[in-house]
Structure 1
Amino acid sequence: MLRDLDYQGRVLARLGDYLTELSGQKLKADKIVASNAQETDPDLKRPVPDFPLKTWEVLCASGKLSDSRLAVPYSTRQDGICRAVPDIVFKVPTGGGKTFLAVAALSKIFGQYLGRKEGFVLWIVPNEALGVSNNYRIMPKQELEFVPSLQLFGQSRASSPYTVLAGPNNSGKSLTLRWLKASMGRSAYFVGTNRFYHVYHLGTGLRDSNELDQFENTFHSHFNDESHNHEHNVFDLGRILMGLKDARRDQLFELCGSLIGSKFSLQKVETENDLGPRYIDMDGQNLSVGSTGTRLLMTVLGLCMDDRFNTILIDEPELGLSPKVQSALSGFLQDSAQRKTYFPHLTRVFVASHSSLFLARADITNNYVVTKEAKKINLSRVQTIQDFHRLQFNLLGNTLESMFFPSAIVIVEGKTDFAYLDRIIGLRMAGRRVTVISSGGDVR
């Protein structure tokens, strides 16, 4: 069994920082290459930068390299046609989990840097026995293709504050969110559907400085597990509340209260013991006996309050929430002014939903229909109002009867037409949900 050690999480987190910067520098270099290809005058072509070297320089300047490496010059690597090639090395002691780090690193490289889930990997081992013992699949068994690629999709949504993924069950919405989180690194948090938590008493303590490293490690461990579809959230509601500063926690209580119409406050379990545990008071009772939906709402909003993340990906935000609260939460997430007040650090929110109330309405092109055909997952952007109405109709049940509307509506011009057809349908189609409506036309 592969071991999960603290320093492994720190190494993978630092690798994530490197890949994030590397991706940005490579994108700049690729733009220059593309521009040079269109330029016919050799004197006007720009030199293509060594993007791995640029990445190293940025990491040095930002203090993301250890002190022992700051004075070490970068050693450039090139392929056979003199293109810059990224090169990294892990120094791991015996028994330190080299295989685990290699597999986890491949997951990050494929998802965060290459933007795909498959490719050729040359794995060199010192002997045949070790090669056989490590002979397992690194990528998921089901080779899925995303159209467009998740790299292109992510780039196209880089400046969009709200994105909705909608579609039937088993279409790939949750998987898309996970792949996006894997490609975005530690600045993004995936909110899985397993977020039902009880909070009775809150103790005291400091936030673990290695918390994000542990989260990244756990996420990628679950992400690479081919045998299970993990929905676990590393940060439960108690952990979220204890990690917020007082002012931010008060803002969370204020926001939840405005959305559901209750009053929240932090109270002592023993009124005369300042060092004792606290509890969340909701309208005079402990939050632990409040509705599940209230705790679910506070969990989602509490994660949005965490300024360590600039992107939140929420799977089924409607879980446990009444339609009224769903509508309020959706409206809040799409309100740029409200977002700036409560979540100024949050630049992007992705949701995968079965609820029509979470659809983006101000700009319908922020909605995507997710469908799956064999091994292909299609992310189709809503382009027209007809597309939007079709999507909304599907989310509402795909039949008029499911919305307690007639199966058919017959519109007639005049009073005589109305009286005649209404009577005929009543006699011949008594069991059908058909309504006749007069348009009030000119019957002279």
Structure 2
Amino acid sequence: MKYKYDQKPNTSFTEKARKCIEEIKNADYSVFVGRNNCGKSYILKTLTQSFGKQASYLGPARYQNFHILGMYTPKSNKKDEKWRQFIQQWQHQQQNIDNSPINLQQAIAELSDMQRDKLFEIVKNLLGTDLKILYTVEDNTMSQKYISCDGHNISYTSSGFRLITTLVTCMLDTDYDTFLIDEPELGISPEAQGILADFLFDREQRKKYFGHIKRLIFATHSTIFLDRLKISNNYSIKKDGDIIDISKTDTISDFNNIHFFLLGNRLESLFLPSCIILTEGKCDQHYLTKVLESKYPNSQFSILNANSDSRMKELVNVAGNIFTDLQKSPYRNRIIAVLDKVHDTSVKQTLLKYGIPESNILVWDKNGIEYYYPNEIMDSIFGSDNEIAITGDLVSRNGVSYKKWELCEKVVSKIDSSTRFNGEVEVKLLKTIELILGN
């Protein structure tokens, strides 16, 4: 649908999404993940409106720096004013505004003395930093006050420090029992994210410091803010046109897929290879390593030599131990086993049992990797015509013979980015890898 330049999109929810929203309203934690522009912020704002004045929405643009603490003037309608400001922005804005109607200076001033003590205690425990309220002129209680952070004004601290302080300050406000936070990770280092996330998901800490909070709802692009204690509290958000869908995380496999998505669907983000390839011998390993380096120079692969097809079972078992449960791991679809035509029939069943997809178990039509070396390179070594003959460790053609490893090294030395590979290598191996890299 095409809209006028000043017309708001007619965003709506699927029936499944509506059911998830009703579940979310009754949960103590909920976490939304999804691509940019999939509707995460829209859901947060919709929920805020549904919860009413008891809910506080904290958008991405939620910090204003300050130097001096202003005077606190109590307002009986403070909560109503904040709600009116949110509704006015949400219902009548002509653009997507993510500003939060908060001011850290004012928020700190509005805390009670006991709440401020909690704030300072939390910041000390989380970040190891002492916060104090001091006078701008020592020994003069008529002078203005400021927040001292380990001896200097809080305005000189990092943006990440101030953003964490802002979040904690807002959550200490007992006027609200529901907090909806859009991208809590913004501006915060991964280490500090982990500290903050551990704190917020700790049920005992929440009971101690935030006993008034019934619900915390996050929209995030960070794996760190996923709820690992109760995986069903995590939701994937997708949008088709103007229709938003929400999927609940029901299984560990679903959770791992979310985690993998937040890594950009790239295992290289963890310095892990894009794909693990299990081979039966050192010639297979050496040759396929060169093939993949020439075809996919920007991707990382781990080509493992099992020495025999039966030992592949051991390697898959090791991979299963590394990834806890291989069948539920994002690596499940990224392990390829390459078998000769003649192999132990129990190997395939074992690989399937461990969760390797059948489409990733490749069996050559001929017995020996030597049959799959590039034709042009083989012709340059042996001369054209006639098929190779393999007898034990010796490969022969046209009266010319080489040992398998010697031949492998010759072939590999001649491969470059222009090399054309055997049809079976292209169809079985390279197409499988391209499907993996494209996911």
**Short-chain TM bin:** 0.5 to 0.7
Partner of 2:89: 222
Partner of 1:287: 154
The 5 A counterparts of 1:205-284 are: 205-284=72-151
SS in structure 2 of the partner of residue 330 of structure 1: helix
Deviates more, 1:313-322 or 1:250-259: 250-259
Give the letter aligned to residue 425 of structure 1.
L
The change in CA–CA distance for 1:278 and 1:181 in structure 2 (over 3 A counts) is same
Contact kept? 1:148, 1:379, Cα under 8 Å = no
**C-alpha distance in structure 2 between counterparts of 1:158 and 1:293, whole Å:** 30
**C-alpha distance in structure 1 between counterparts of 2:306 and 2:114, whole Å:** 58
The 5 A counterparts of 1:94-109 are: none
Contact kept? 2:12, 2:242, Cα under 8 Å = yes
Give the letter aligned to residue 302 of structure 1.
T
Deviates more, 1:195-204 or 1:142-151: 142-151
SS in structure 2 of the partner of residue 241 of structure 1: helix
Structure 1 residue 149 displacement after superposition: 7.2
**C-alpha distance in structure 2 between counterparts of 1:239 and 1:324, whole Å:** 28
The runs of 5 or more residues in structure 1 that have no matched partner are 1-136
Q: Which of 337, 356, 363 does residue 204 from structure 2 map onto?
A: 337
Partner of 1:296: 163
Structure 1 residue 400 displacement after superposition: 2.1
Q: Which of 313, 331, 348 does residue 215 from structure 2 map onto?
A: 348
**C-alpha distance in structure 2 between counterparts of 1:155 and 1:428, whole Å:** 52
**C-alpha distance in structure 1 between counterparts of 2:254 and 2:16, whole Å:** 22
Partner of 2:292: 429
Structure 1 residue 196 displacement after superposition: 2.6
The change in CA–CA distance for 1:274 and 1:437 in structure 2 (over 3 A counts) is farther
**Are 2:253 and 1:386 equivalent residues in the alignment?**
yes
Structure 1 residue 383 displacement after superposition: 1.0
Contact kept? 1:371, 1:379, Cα under 8 Å = yes
Contact kept? 1:397, 1:403, Cα under 8 Å = no
Partner of 1:316: 183
Q: Which of 270, 282, 304 does residue 419 from structure 1 map onto?
A: 282
**Are 2:33 and 1:166 equivalent residues in the alignment?**
yes
**C-alpha distance in structure 1 between counterparts of 2:233 and 2:15, whole Å:** 15
Identity %: 33
Structure 1 residue 143 displacement after superposition: 2.0
Give the letter aligned to residue 359 of structure 1.
L
**Are 2:260 and 1:397 equivalent residues in the alignment?**
no
**C-alpha distance in structure 1 between counterparts of 2:260 and 2:281, whole Å:** 28
SS in structure 2 of the partner of residue 371 of structure 1: strand
**Are 2:235 and 1:368 equivalent residues in the alignment?**
yes
The change in CA–CA distance for 1:284 and 1:439 in structure 2 (over 3 A counts) is farther
Structure 1 residue 437 displacement after superposition: 3.7
- Normalized per residue, the structure richer in strand is 2
**C-alpha distance in structure 2 between counterparts of 1:239 and 1:288, whole Å:** 14
Deviates more, 1:291-300 or 1:223-232: 223-232
Partner of 1:305: 172
SS in structure 1 of the partner of residue 169 of structure 2: helix
Partner of 2:42: 175
TM-score of the aligned structures, taking structure 2 as reference length: 0.65
Structure 1 residue 347 displacement after superposition: 0.7
The structure whose Rg is larger is: 2
**C-alpha distance in structure 2 between counterparts of 1:306 and 1:195, whole Å:** 15
Contact kept? 1:189, 1:309, Cα under 8 Å = yes
SS in structure 2 of the partner of residue 435 of structure 1: strand
Partner of 1:145: 12
TM-score of the aligned structures, taking structure 1 as reference length: 0.64
Q: What's the CA shift string for 1:379-405, capped at 9, x where partnerless?
A: 111111111111111111112233332
**C-alpha distance in structure 1 between counterparts of 2:125 and 2:292, whole Å:** 49
Q: What's the CA shift string for 1:86-131, capped at 9, x where partnerless?
A: xxxxxxxxxxxxxxxxxxxxxxxxxxxxxxxxxxxxxxxxxxxxxx
**C-alpha distance in structure 2 between counterparts of 1:233 and 1:318, whole Å:** 16
Contact kept? 2:282, 2:307, Cα under 8 Å = no
Structure 1 residue 299 displacement after superposition: 0.8
The change in CA–CA distance for 1:343 and 1:422 in structure 2 (over 3 A counts) is same
SS in structure 2 of the partner of residue 280 of structure 1: strand
Contact kept? 2:17, 2:244, Cα under 8 Å = no
SS in structure 2 of the partner of residue 157 of structure 1: helix
**C-alpha distance in structure 2 between counterparts of 1:157 and 1:227, whole Å:** 28
Q: What's the CA shift string for 1:136-169, capped at 9, x where partnerless?
A: x9xx742222134776444322332110011000
**C-alpha distance in structure 2 between counterparts of 1:192 and 1:440, whole Å:** 56
Q: Which of 53, 59, 64 does residue 197 from structure 1 map onto?
A: 64
Structure 1 residue 418 displacement after superposition: 5.5
Q: What's the CA shift string for 1:189-214, capped at 9, x where partnerless?
A: 00011113112111332332111111
**C-alpha distance in structure 2 between counterparts of 1:225 and 1:200, whole Å:** 33
Partner of 1:47: none
Contact kept? 1:369, 1:380, Cα under 8 Å = yes
SS in structure 2 of the partner of residue 142 of structure 1: coil
Structure 1 residue 234 displacement after superposition: 1.7
The runs of 5 or more residues in structure 2 that have no matched partner are 312-439
Contact kept? 2:57, 2:180, Cα under 8 Å = yes
